[in-house]
């Protein structure tokens, strides 16, 4: 395959809601570009883009597919993304490496949930956007209403480049305002006949053309002067202004297609080749140390791994974008994040599951390699000359849905752990781990559908039945007042016995607290706990009643009980314990004796020290349509939420709240149900706070019943 230079490359992401026709459009673009000789369909399960077993079964995308097509001697790299927000990680990854997003909109339905959600992601990525109105051949297609909704939702910069003459079941004609021609398509689509605009449309087209020219001129001061002077712009001047407006996100062009009938697709490819910015026309990308990498093939090489997949018979595939320099086959590169070297043994351009070997790729291009030893999604690969440059990692949303998972046959637990970890390597928004605290395998993701598809993978492809069940809540235990206790451990069973007695005062730990003065503090040991908070031991022994060599054993015993708190078996935190007295036996005292005595003394004192259970509180940000605010607020209040504030984001309202994790189980499903999928939210751990008394009583009772069952 020819080596395409940076100015001959275009990188686009196809984004939008489910069923808007992104995969069908990608297929038509491959066909129009001559990359495939026959168009597949989603229904026939033979498209280039949707080739994974789950996509064939569901008939929609769940992972971004990397594709390329050709137009006007340009290579157009395409990323066909899923339409469901559960797979938002795929959209975010695609927008990270695309230079322009093409928002596919269903002309029957107008602005849908998926349109709104993916628009937010394009906003955050600051990616230029072109709207593509699809399904214009359908009976209910309404182009004018769709444009009205786009302008109402996304602002006045929605700019028509085309409009359909006869949207609906007889659709076959498009007026192109840039060319000021009418494209008429034969039945079944294909190559259009390009005609002069008929008299019946000429007045409307000329009026829209004049408005378009003025809009484009306003994006460039020099062109505005030309426009005022001459009253017109040449096509070349208009295209220059269009590119400027795209890059600055002050113009959002609108194009028309019927992807299924292959109408308007060839013209769309021409538009991409001629009007969409090349990688070297876009702002550079930043490194962690603030350096800006410009997309220049003569600079030292930097490539960014934006996606990883694992495929049968091939293993791990790493997809990358070359941000600067050139990459050649068998090139040695450096991964600065892991201080390791990688050899790119093979390079591929990719069309779905089809791969074509190439010898070289230049700045701006997107490709793949295989069998990297120690490089993963989010890593940078550099040449020797810029070995330490690290491109900023992609930021993904925090998990919104969590479940505990186990194999139906416990002997398979280790297998499913391995499989789910492999899935998480491919999907950065899927997080898998074993919680030593909860004694559960916890799988986290973006929603119920997201995690259900992971379950499908394990059960269908790996043939291992699994169960999902409600995860435990990582409560914390602490105390609110001082308390004393003593415990004597004494055991005699022939020969040397065991003996240790410990007297202990415990009290709450707070930063800057006043130390107790009842007993002299002769030594202090402060432990920063892995799970948050502190444990402080004060040695207050006078007169050698407990030998100093036994103090570490007492600390160990207390720490064991901190790891399995007396109230619910949860981690305890923020406690000071003072060992102020005790007894030893000249023969029977040993470390195990004082460990057990310290553990039990701590347990007894804890129960009398005003023990309290703390629960994890999360900050959540809900973005919701205004007409659904009341229902969402009511639901949040039923979840013990504390509303921290409200704000607006475009046509949406933003609710900021603090909510206990215990009340957020399946919240993504509930929110979707309340708002018909139009709301979205993010969540992040905030703090631990005391649970209400009635809930603490329930937790204590449940733990007591559990312990009785286990005895």
Beta pairing partners, 539: 523, 579
Domains of the chain: 6-198+250-281 (3.40.50.300), 297-386 (2.40.30.10), 401-472 (3.30.70.870), 477-610 (3.30.230.10), 614-694 (3.30.70.240)
CA distance 143 to 1: 40
Give the pLDDT confidence score for residue 711 in this predicted structure. 55
Structure token digits, residue 380:
């940078």
Give the tokens for residue 386: 């810029």
Ranges under pLDDT 50 in the chain: none
Residues 6 or more apart from 383 whose CB is under 8 A from it? 300, 301, 302, 325, 331, 333, 334
Report the predicted TM-score, pTM, of the whole model to 2 decimal places.
Answer: 0.88
Each residue's pLDDT tens digit, 659-675: 999 999 889 889 989 99
Give the pLDDT confidence score for residue 706 in this predicted structure: 79
Quick one: pLDDT at residue 221?
Answer: 79
419-451 per-position pLDDT tens digit: 999 999 899 999 999 998 899 999 999 999 999
Residues 6+ apart with CB under 8 A from 136: 107, 143, 164, 167, 168, 171, 256, 257, 258, 263
Q: What is the pLDDT, as a whole number, of residue 492?
A: 79
**φ and ψ of 143, to 5 deg:** -65, -45
Identify the CA nearest to 239 among candidates 276, 205, 267, 206: 276
Q: Are 622 and 679 in contact (CB under 8 A)?
A: yes
């Amino acid at each position: 395959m020819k080596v395409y230079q940076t100015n001959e490359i275009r990188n686009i992401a196809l984004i939008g809601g489910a069923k808007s026709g992104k995969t069908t459009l990608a297929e038509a673009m491959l066909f129009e570009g001559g990359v495939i000789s026959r168009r597949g369909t989603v229904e026939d399960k033979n498209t280039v883009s949707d080739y994974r077993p789950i996509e064939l079964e569901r008939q929609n995308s769940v992972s971004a597919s990397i594709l390329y097509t050709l137009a006007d001697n340009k290579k157009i790299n395409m990323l066909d993304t899923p339409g469901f927000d559960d797979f938002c990680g795929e959209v975010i990854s695609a927008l990270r490496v695309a230079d322009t997003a093409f928002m596919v909109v269903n002309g029957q339905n107008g602005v849908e949930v998926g349109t709104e959600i993916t628009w937010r992601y394009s906003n955050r990525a600051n990616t230029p956007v072109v709207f593509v109105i699809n399904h214009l051949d359908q009976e209910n297609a309404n182009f004018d209403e769709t444009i009205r909704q786009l302008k109402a939702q996304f602002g006045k910069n929605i700019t028509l480049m085309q409009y359909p003459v006869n949207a609906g079941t007889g659709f076959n004609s498009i007026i192109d305002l840039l060319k000021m021609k009418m494209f008429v398509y034969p039945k079944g689509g294909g190559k259009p006949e390009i005609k002069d605009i008929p008299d019946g449309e000429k007045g409307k087209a000329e009026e829209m053309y004049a408005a378009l020219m003025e809009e484009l001129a306003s994006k460039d001061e020099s062109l505005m002067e030309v426009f005022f002077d001459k009253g017109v712009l040449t096509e070349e001047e208009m295209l220059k202004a269009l590119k400027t407006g795209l890059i600055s996100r002050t113009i959002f062009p609108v194009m028309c297609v019927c992807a299924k009938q292959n109408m308007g697709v060839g013209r769309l490819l021409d538009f991409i080749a001629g009007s969409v910015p090349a990688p070297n026309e876009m702002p550079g990308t930043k490194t962690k140390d603030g350096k800006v990498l410009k997309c220049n093939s003569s600079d030292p090489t930097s490539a960014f791994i934006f996606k990883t997949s694992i495929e049968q018979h091939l293993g791990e595939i790493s997809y990358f974008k070359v941000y600067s320099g050139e990459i050649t086959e068998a090139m040695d590169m450096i991964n600065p994040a892991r201080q390791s070297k990688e050899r790119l043994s093979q390079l591929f351009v990719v069309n779905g599951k089809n791969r074509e070997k190439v010898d070289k790729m230049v700045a701006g291009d997107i490709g793949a390699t295989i069998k990297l030893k120690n490089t993963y999604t989010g890593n940078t690969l550099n040449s020797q000359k810029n070995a330490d440059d690290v491109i900023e990692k992609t930021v993904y949303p925090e998990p919104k849905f969590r479940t505990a998972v186990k194999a139906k046959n416990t002997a398979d637990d280790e297998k499913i752990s391995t499989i789910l970890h492999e899935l998480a390597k491919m999907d950065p928004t899927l997080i898998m781990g074993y919680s030593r605290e909860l004694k559960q395998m916890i799988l986290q993701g973006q929603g119920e559908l997201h995690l259900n598809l992971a379950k499908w993978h394990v059960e269908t492809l790996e043939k291992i039945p699994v169960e999902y069940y409600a995860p435990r809540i990582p409560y914390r235990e602490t105390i609110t007042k001082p308390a004393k206790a003593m415990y004597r451990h004494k055991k005699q069973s022939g020969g040397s016995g065991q003996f240790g007695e410990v007297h202990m005062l415990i009290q709450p730990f707070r930063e800057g607290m006043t130390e107790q003065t009842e007993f002299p503090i002769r030594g202090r040991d402060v432990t920063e706990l892995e799970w948050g908070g502190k444990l402080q031991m004060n040695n207050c022994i006078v007169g050698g009643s407990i030998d100093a060599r036994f103090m570490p054993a007492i600390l160990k015993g207390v720490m064991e009980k901190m790891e399995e708190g007396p109230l619910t078996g949860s981690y305890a935190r923020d406690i000071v314990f003072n060992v102020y007295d005790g007894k030893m036996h000249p023969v029977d005292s040993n470390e195990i004796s004082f460990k057990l005595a310290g553990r039990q003394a701590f347990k007894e004192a804890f129960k009398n020290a005003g023990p309290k259970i703390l629960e994890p509180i999360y900050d959540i940000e809900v973005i919701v349509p205004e007409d659904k605010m009341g229902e969402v607020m009511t639901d949040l209040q039923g979840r013990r939420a504390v509303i921290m504030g409200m704000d607006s984001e475009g046509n949406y309202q933003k609710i900021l709240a603090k909510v206990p994790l215990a009340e957020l189980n399946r919240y993504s499903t509930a929110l979707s149900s309340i708002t018909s999928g139009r709301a979205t939210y993010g969540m992040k751990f905030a703090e631990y706070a005391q649970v209400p008394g009635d809930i603490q009583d329930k937790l204590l009772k449940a733990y007591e019943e559990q312990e009785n069952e286990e005895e």
